[in-house]
Chains A and B, each alone.
Chain A
Amino acid sequence: MPQTGTIVTYTHLHEPLPGFEAQAPFYIAVVKLGNGAKILTQIVDSPDGSVKTGAKVRATVRRARVDGDSGQIVYGYKFTVV
């Protein structure tokens, strides 16, 4: 998977799915990668004004969510504005 791409569109989500409450509100964007594929991803560690249509972003590995009572940590990809 290419590591960089461009924000096609985004939203600032206030009421996320269960398991993601601690992260809310957060940005979710459609990112077009260097190879033309489009994916859905969170945009993290990026100042509010920087998350906008056309912004360049780079992939990073982050905690996606914490599962169940045993607290198993699930990791996944997120993106940051370059």
Chain B
Amino acid sequence: MARSRAYVASVGFTPVGDHWEKSLIDLAVDAARGALKPFGKKAPDQIIVGNMFSAVGASQEHLGAYLASALGMAGTPAYKVEAACSSGGSAFNVAYNLVKSGAIDSALVVGVEKMRDLEPEEVSQALAMAESAEYTQFVGATFAALNGLLARYYMEQLNVTRDDLSSIPVLDHANAVTAAHAQFRKPITPEVVGRSTMIADPLRLFDCAPVGDGAAAALVVNDSATPRSKKLVEILGGKIATSQFSIYEREDMLDFKATREAFKGAIAQAGLAPKKLSLVEVHDAFSVVGALSLEAMGYSKRGRGPSDAKAGKYSPGGELPINTFGGLKARGHPVGATGMYQIAEAYLQLTGMAGKNQVPGARYAATQNIGGVDSTSAVHVFGEAA
């Protein structure tokens, strides 16, 4: 086993939204077939599925073997990786490390989630499983509740205004207008965000990522398995980190330590300065989470993420474009699939296949995928293959 370079050779994904006519495994197959095109009928060495709550959402576990069979690839080693909303990024990290180490030469990674078959309160229950049953679920707190009290703390401690915070969902929606696979393709204004239904004061409906179905996949290969015909993107670094589990247990609730450490690790592996990145796909499941993520990665000073976004720093043509296809708020957030959508989008950007959403001259990109309120963070850095 020799260490090699590792690449994304191709990607596949479904639109995010309502897929009433498709089962969880149908969605996974659709995305997988797209990513497997360069391999023809050849099976990858492993199939790794990222998914958060198929047991609750689709009465289905054992996704690895089921997907391998559904693809006509029974016999291929296959299994699921779960890390709440960072399941997709975490599954990809496993594939990256296996392929990079030379333990295997190729892996298909598929992130998939089916959420729309559930009632809204069932979705809340399923998402709350990312937090402790004994101390967080026990008091009736949803995931939105934790982010709501985090948003209040952020705004009160660092003098962030409602209007500033709205600039992150506004940016996402603007970018999604031209993104064919995005769930919501309408532009919004800060006034719309500020007037939307109250969910967990001060967070409103348009601060929160929507509920949707979707699957996204990538084919990861090393130099021994590189398909000739396809455009390669090199995986330059990838790291998972964890924080103290729940925000209320942390000394500083405004420090996204998992993201800070994962980003630091991944960018060091890549040997790049953070300012070399052409774009970052940021995990903004809630507006406040997007802001704290940008601050943890060092792109904005503490408390300045939203005002920097408002000033255009993170918009197309700005210093560092983020969420180039709409991010979690507007592309959508089918939780276990989200990390793989981010990676698929980074691939499109670095191969010049991003269409109207193309960041001109994009050379390096990062994806940041959170589970819980930054309890887990999986960060990957990509670059054009030499």
Contacts and interface: CB of A to CB of B under 8 A. Distances in A.
A41 interface: yes
B248 A40 contact: yes
A65 to B, nearest CB: 7
Nearest to B203: A11
A28 to B, nearest CB: 5
Contacts of A12: 148, 198, 200-201
Interface size class of A (residues with CB under 8 A): 20 to 34
Interface residues of B, number: 35
A27 B102 CA distance: 52
B199 to A, nearest CB: 6
B120 A15 contact: yes
Contact of A15 (B142, B146, B249): B142
B248 A17 contact: no
Interface stretch (B132-140, B264-272, B297-305): B132-140
A76 B137 CA distance: 12
A80 B49 CA distance: 45
Where chain B touches its partner, the secondary structure class is helix
Contact of B140 (A10, A19, A30, A53): A19
B150 interface: yes
B297 to A, nearest CB: 23
B248 A39 contact: yes
B140 A9 contact: no
Interface of A: 8-21, 23, 26, 28-30, 38-42, 53, 64-65, 76, 78
A57 to B, nearest CB: 14
B178 interface: no
Nearest to A7: B149
Given A11-B145, A16-B124, A16-B142, 19 more contacts: A8-B153, A12-B198, A13-B144, A14-B198, A14-B201, A16-B141, A17-B125, A17-B128, A18-B121, A18-B122, A20-B140, A23-B140, A26-B140, A28-B140, A28-B145, A40-B135, A40-B248, A65-B140, A78-B139
Contacts of B153: 8-9, 30, 53
B21 interface: no
Nearest to A32: B248
B119 to A, nearest CB: 9
Contacts of B142: 13, 15-17
A76 B139 contact: yes
B100 to A, nearest CB: 39
Nearest to A77: B139
Contacts of A38: 248-249
A40 B124 contact: no
- The residue among A17, A26, A42, A76 with the most chain B CB atoms within 10 A of its own CB is A17
A67 B230 CA distance: 55
14 contacts: A9-B152, A11-B202, A15-B144, A16-B145, A18-B121, A26-B140, A28-B140, A30-B253, A39-B248, A42-B139, A53-B153, A53-B156, A64-B140, A65-B140
B246 interface: yes
A40 B140 contact: no
A30 B128 CA distance: 17
Nearest to A74: B138
4 smallest CB-CB distances across A and B, nearest first, come from A11-B148, A20-B140, A9-B153, A12-B201
A57 B124 CA distance: 28
Contacts of A19: 140
B149 A10 contact: yes
